[in-house]
Amino acid sequence: MTTPLEFFDTDSLLSDEDKAMRDTVRKYVESKVKPQLAGWYESASIPARELARELGDLGVLGMHLEGYGCAGTSATAYGLACMELEAGDSGLRSLVSVQGSLAMFAIWKHGSEEQKQEWLPRMAAGEAIGCFGLTEPGFGSNPGGMITRARRDGTDWVIKGNKMWITNGSVADVAVVWARVDDGADEGVRGFVVPTDTPGFEAPEIKQKMSLRASVTSELVLDDVRLPADAVLPNVVGLSGPLSCLNEARFGIVFGALGAARDCLETAIAYAKERDIFDKPLAGFQLTQAKLADMTLELGKGMLLAIHLGKLKDEGRLDHRQVSLGKLNNTREAIAIARECRTILGAAGITLEYPLMRHANNLESVLTYEGTSEVHQLIIGQAVTGESAYR
């Protein structure tokens, strides 16, 4: 018997180093994480600090960044690590993605040397956890409409506003917060490095979730948070700053969503082989094989796309619109695979004994965050037509 991705021989497209990183993360997820996931999901809790330290020891936090204690791996290796993490749970991959591709990348790309030295080594080791505050209660797909404001008060900055749906928020030691500055030489959207013990900063956790339950999701409340002058990210002004970070995280999702889909498909195949119905294995029925064949095809196509985008990124030739192709296709197909696999398991598929419904619920969030499917459709539509449909 051939596994779905073996059928496509995708390993032949990967370097030995990339495969070694993938296998290391897979072993960790299989042995340390998967046995706990059903319990974490049911209780809507996760030992984020313990996991962060373990993931830091594993070398996956900010792994695709250079220097400051980061591993400096290829983009493809990072993508493969995201795939293995999300084969465990989307919440686990989100912890790593927000830490490395949003909070750490923002500081690494746009921060001062002092900011990098202060935060990146600790974040790479998992000793400090970061979050990324862009989305607001009233502004998700249109971040340019944000109402969070930063103003000068002498040499200090004072920030007031709210952020919403923030992964890691309640356990974070540092938040990268984006706010609008309305006047002076600093006018525009600016990023700020905010230690979460700063007076006026609160991060109440959002508990009533049906998706990403094994993940910390929070609101950020900034009530006249006062910061020193050097808290601002000095090397970027405007939405290009946060959008560059989102592009990094979206790249990880291109691979990550396939991890959830692969775990669902492997589970469904194993179940269908063992489950007898009408005196023969469920896997021996034509309709079951048609489902499995179609899902194998979509998973393999998604993997080929992800590896291609990874190679483009490693060569410095990846366009952000191509990331939209990968995010749109792979999240859309992953959620379809999760739902179809659930039908193969019947009623058993809705229980936490199997990962299918957990993955399907998580993928509802992955489909939406860091650019909804509709936003990515419009990005692609503008690329192929030359016409903007945003307004």
* pLDDT at residue 139, rounded to an integer: 87
Using pLDDT thresholds of 50, 70 and 90, give the confidence band for residue 184. Answer: confident
- Average the pLDDT over 236-243 and give the result: 92
pLDDT, one tens digit per residue, over 243-254 is 999 999 999 999
pLDDT, one tens digit per residue, over 127-157 is 999 999 999 998 878 888 899 999 999 999 9
Residues of the chain with CATH 1.20.140.10: 241-385
Distance CA 107, CA 124 (A): 12
- Would you state the CATH architecture of domain 4-129? Orthogonal Bundle (1.10)
pLDDT, one tens digit per residue, over 278-293 is 999 999 999 999 999 9
Number of helical H runs and strand E runs in the chain = 13, 11
Distance CA 360, CA 356 (A): 6
Question: In this structure, are residues 108 and 65 in contact, taking their beta carbons and an 8 Å threshold?
Answer: yes
Distance CA 309, CA 323 (A): 7
pLDDT at 368 over 90: yes
Residues of the chain with CATH 2.40.110.10: 131-236
Residues of the chain with CATH 1.10.540.10: 4-129
pLDDT at 196 over 90: yes
pTM: 0.95
* pLDDT at residue 213, rounded to an integer: 97
* pLDDT at residue 4, rounded to an integer: 87
Instruction: Tell me the backbone φ, ψ of residue 176, rounded to 5 degrees.
Output: -90, 110
Kindly report the CATH class assigned to 241-385.
Answer: mainly alpha
pLDDT at 338 over 90: yes
CA-based nearest residue to 133, from 233, 228, 220: 220
By annotation, the residues acting in catalysis are 370
Task: Name the CATH superfamily for 131-236.
Answer: Butyryl-CoA Dehydrogenase, subunit A, domain 2 (2.40.110.10)
- In the three-class reduction of DSSP (H, G, I as helix; E, B as strand; rest coil), residue 349 is classed as helix
